[in-house]
Amino acid sequence: MLSNRHLFKTATTGLSTNRSRTFLTIFGIVIGITAIMLVVSLGAGAQALILGQVQGLGTNTIAIIPGREPTGPSDVSSLYSDSLKEKDLTALENKANVPWLKLIMPTVISADSASFGSNAYQVNIFGATEIIADIFDMHLDSGSFWDQDDVLSRNSVVVLGSKVAQHLFDTENPIGQKIKVKSVNLKVVGVLAPTGGGSLFNFDNMIILPYTTTQSYILGTKYFNRIIIQSVTDDKVAVTADDIDRTLRESHNITDPTKDDFTVQTQQDLANRLSTITTSLTWFLVAVASIALFVGGVGIMNIMLVAVTERTREIGLRKALGATNGDILKQFLLEAVMLTVIGGLVGIFLGTLLAFIIALGLSKGLGVNWQFVFPWSGAILGVTVSAVIGLVFGGYPARKASKKSPIEALRYE
């Protein structure tokens, strides 16, 4: 019976005999583990960015969405429901109905072309109330924001996103000028500071105007796309959401909750759903990347079979000197596991390095706070899977080597 130290030394010698073949053998494992590390790290970074943006709106923020929550393809049309109207806004503003309500803002969202002179630019239209600047932490680069009087009077005033101002006015000062949307002239009163796209909403490509103006002059509608509410404190979110459900059901004459034509969504709900989606997508991509590991495992099995054939005389000599079938089995299994584990460690290093470089590039290039996250789960998975692949795909060649007859092996040419 050979000692573990001797088995390790023998396996190392066997692998180092043909270094180029050893390198090519572990290459498939390196690619697979690198891909896994890259996907898991970037997935965690994307999840952190998205959840950070959601939480940036405030954990006490509640969104009311028209239509019931989709549970399947047949419910997609409910997303475009016109169920939220002025009467609902009035009912929700009543303190007797929602006593812990702090802020409420109806929103109307659309897209169209805005023009100034001969310049035109496709913009996202966001109609809201004056508190939008506080809720979304907006900062102006120039001018001022429109106020509550503009909302009540349906004034044709607008605040431009930075890219909108740049495309329509170039170097000209937009403040006081008038842009045109659907033949409606809108006076520019302010320009937002650039956000760099680091938000759930790309305000750089938006125009912000009173929702009353948007409904009356731009869209010709009388319903809302969203109603955003903030409770007085974080611990009142749940009770406020319940009050909203009850109030809207009374407003819509709904007695059966399964017939709701609206959805109340807290920031925690949204964060949990986004987290589930990003996690599921990440591990789906991990499963796809794992195909490379399977291919690498098959390559290792083929190479080990070749090695067993080449080293037939060596096997016979070791058996003649007293090595048992178990010793030979352990030796070749150890070689296979060493190949895959080395490939796994190299893959972890390369995957981590690439993930760090890409995260840095995304932060600089997109202007977002994309954090590098070391994927401990990916690293542990990589090492574990590498070892398992070595055992599984190295098992057959190792068993074949251990079963060789020492007399026939010594006669092998």
Q: Are 229 and 93 in contact (CB under 8 A)?
A: no
Q: Of 217, 235, 260, which residue is a domain's last?
A: 260
Per residue in 63-100, pLDDT (tens digit) is 888 887 655 444 444 445 788 999 999 999 999 999 99
**In terms of domains, do 214 and 94 share one?**
yes
Question: Is residue 334 located within the same domain as residue 288?
Answer: yes
The secondary element (H helix, E strand) that includes residue 111 is strand 101-116
State how far the Cα of 102 lies from the Cα of 157, in Å rounded to an integer: 26
Does any domain span residue 68? no
DSSP string for 172-218: S--TT-EEEETTEEEEEEEEEPP-TT-SSS-GGGEEEEEHHHIIIII
With 0-12 / 13-18 / 19 or more C-beta atoms within 10 angstroms meaning exposed / middle / buried, residue 118 is exposed
Q: Are 251 and 281 members of one domain?
A: no
Does one domain contain both 189 and 304?
A: no
CA distance linking residue 226 with residue 33, whole number of Å:
44
- Claim to verify: residue 255 and residue 280 sit in the same structural domain: no
Who wins on pLDDT, 43 or 126?
126
Structural domain total, the chain: 2
User: 383 and 327, same structural domain?
Assistant: yes
Alpha-helical segments (H) within 95-194: 132-135, 148-153, 162-169
pLDDT tens column, 325-367: 666 677 777 777 777 788 888 888 888 888 888 888 877 766 6
Range with the largest mean pLDDT of 7-16, 117-126, 378-387: 117-126
Residue-wise pLDDT tens digits, 255-291: 888 888 888 887 766 666 666 777 777 777 777 767 7
State whether 232 and 296 are in the same domain.
no
One domain, residues 287 and 368 = yes
Last residue of a domain, one of 205, 231, 260: 260
Residue 18 forms part of a structural domain:
yes
The SS3 of residue 95 is coil
| 3-state DSSP assignment of residue 171 | coil
Residue 267 within any structural domain of the chain? no
- The encoded tokens of residue 321 equal 């000197």
Arithmetic mean of pLDDT over the chain: 78
Tell whether 60 is covered by a domain. Answer: no
Distance between terminal CA atoms of the chain? 27
Question: Tokens 């600047």, residue?
Answer: 133
**338: in domain:** yes
Greater pLDDT, 158 or 271? 158
- Residue numbers of the domain that contains 404: 4-54+272-411
Closest CA to 64 of 199, 252, 225: 225
Indicate if 280 and 229 belong to the same structural domain.
no
Do 218 and 87 reside in the same domain of the chain? Answer: yes
The answer to whether the CB of 62 falls within 8 A of the CB of 231 is yes
pTM metric for this prediction:
0.60
* Whole-number Å distance between alpha carbons of 330 and 64: 63
Whole-number Cα distances in Å, 322 to 32, 64, 308, 412: 39, 78, 19, 19
- Contact residues for 246 (Cβ-Cβ < 8 A; gap 6+): 97
Q: What is the CA radius of gyration of the chain?
A: 32
Q: Which of 193, 227, 260 is the last residue of a domain?
A: 260
Q: What is the pLDDT of residue 175?
A: 94
Tokens of 289: 């990347």
Higher pLDDT, 242 or 50: 242
Residues in CB range of 361: below 8 A, 6 or more apart: none
Of the CA atoms within 13 Å of residue 228, those in its CB half-sphere come to 20
pLDDT digits (tens, 9 = 90+) for 300-332: 777 766 666 666 666 666 666 666 766 667 777
Kindly state whether residues 255 and 289 are assigned to the same domain.
Answer: no
Structure-block tokens of residue 92: 């929700």
Residue 402 Cα distances to 143, 280, 283, 312, 326, angstroms? 83, 43, 38, 10, 7
User: Alpha carbon of 147 to those of 152, 179, 412: distances in Å?
Assistant: 9, 19, 93
Long-range contacts of 273-281 (CB under 8 A, 24+ apart): 274/47, 274/50, 274/51, 274/54, 275/47, 275/51, 278/43, 278/46, 278/47, 278/50, 279/43, 279/47, 281/43
Q: Are residues 197 and 334 part of one domain? A: no
- Please give the pLDDT value at position 272: 67
- Residue 67 lies inside a defined structural domain of this protein: no
Report yes or no on 41 lying in a domain: yes
Please indicate, yes or no, if residue 65 is contained in any of the structural domains. Answer: no
